[in-house]
Amino acid sequence: MYRTNYCEIDLDVIRHNVGVMRACLADGVKFLAVVKADGYGHGAVQVARAALEAGASMLAVAIPEEGAQLRQAGIDAPILVLGGIECEAAEAVVACGLTQTVFDEARILALNAAGERLGRTAQVHLKLDTGMCRIGVRTPEEVRALVKLIDSLPHVELTGCFTHMATADEDEREDTYRQIARFEALCAAIASVHPGKIIRHAANTASIFRYPQAHFDMVRGGIALYGYPPVPEATGLRPAMRWVTRAVYVKTIHPGDRVSYGGLFEAERDTRVMTVPVGYADGYRRGMTGKGCVLVRGRRARILGRVCMDQIMVDVTDIPDAQAGDEVVLLGAQGDEMIDADEMAAWLGTISYEVLCSPGKRVPRVYMHE
């Protein structure tokens, strides 16, 4: 690493956050760790291992490629692919031993054909649409038809069903209560035609803390795994990521001098400007212009002018000892100060999930307590 610019990931914090969520569960309820999108930017393989060590029973990814990456790393725990697949991907899913989400006849038949070719059985979870209106079957009639189809095929096995809560993190709760009731009705439709026991899961992260009646047989922990509470009830979590770099230059500019592209910032006094080697090509978003700040020597330094592709400039006038080589924290704690992903999201008009996924491939992940 020639440039100090990395995300520090504390895997003990991941383990801690798993424990916080599992403490909300009744005996026998399993915990699934959602590690899609490269573990929300934290590194899927390392996060998956830490979550499993802390008691997770299953992992979830968005696409088969993410599941294949975990298998290639030697992870043999059950892995659920949450999204739909193209029929051509069925063979890869079966070959990797992934559990595939299904919701229509074409994909079920494709998985059965792949299983026949490979001499294996494809495990599937049936997605039930109870109000998200994204993917999933909506009526008892559709449910029974697909379950009967699955049970008639020799190379497909129904091992679970699930839904996703659309508004569990909102103050208005009636929609979530309705979703839970619809889920129970569709689970009853499955039971009416399928004799075996399957895993039922409905609770996303917010529901883990807010809706114990939605826990069923398993819950899915996402954003809280990484330390960010989706609802006020989610207490005791700790952020696992800290984004760090080092200053490369400090200079003094004078009244009338303008900083960065377009000259958006014009100095009104002698101003000490620190140049930091991070920009939007690293995932430090251009939308931070005029809004964001960083930490230098435990104090906040605001961004001056536009965020560039590879560099930003910050005001260290009131941090008189600041100099080239100083650690600069973009996300996380330094001394008694903290910039978390929720605050950065507020600057950008987005959510913490997007901020955590933003640091790009030029920003290595460095793991503590691996």
The pLDDT mean for the chain works out to: 97
- What is the pLDDT at residue 272? 98
**Distances from the Cα of 303 to the Cα of 114, 144, 263, angstroms:** 54, 58, 13
Q: Which of 30, 36, 228, 284 is flagged as catalytic?
A: 36
Share of the chain above pLDDT 70, in %: 100
Question: Can 36 be counted among the known catalytic residues?
Answer: yes
Render pLDDT for 167-213 as a digit per residue (tens, 0 to 9).
Answer: 999 999 999 999 999 999 999 999 999 989 999 999 999 999 999 99
What is the distance between the alpha carbons of residues 53 and 348, in angstroms, rounded to a whole number? 35
Question: Confidence class of residue 325 from pLDDT cuts 50, 70 and 90?
Answer: very high
Judge whether residue 91 has pLDDT over 80. yes
Question: Can 228 be counted among the known catalytic residues?
Answer: no
DSSP at 118? H
What is the distance between the alpha carbons of residues 351 and 11, in angstroms, rounded to a whole number? 23
Judge whether residue 64 has pLDDT over 90. yes
Q: Which of 148, 211, 261, 367 is flagged as catalytic?
A: 261
Average pLDDT over residues 20-36: 98
Render pLDDT for 247-268 as a digit per residue (tens, 0 to 9).
Answer: 999 999 999 999 999 999 999 9
Question: Confidence class of residue 2 from pLDDT cuts 50, 70 and 90?
Answer: confident
Average pLDDT over residues 38-53: 98
Strands (DSSP E) contained in the chain are: 5-10, 30-34, 58-61, 79-81, 99-102, 122-127, 156-162, 199-203, 218-221, 241-246, 249-253, 258-259, 265-266, 271-276, 293-296, 299-304, 312-315, 327-334, 337-339, 365-368
Render pLDDT for 292-304 as a digit per residue (tens, 0 to 9).
Answer: 999 999 999 999 9
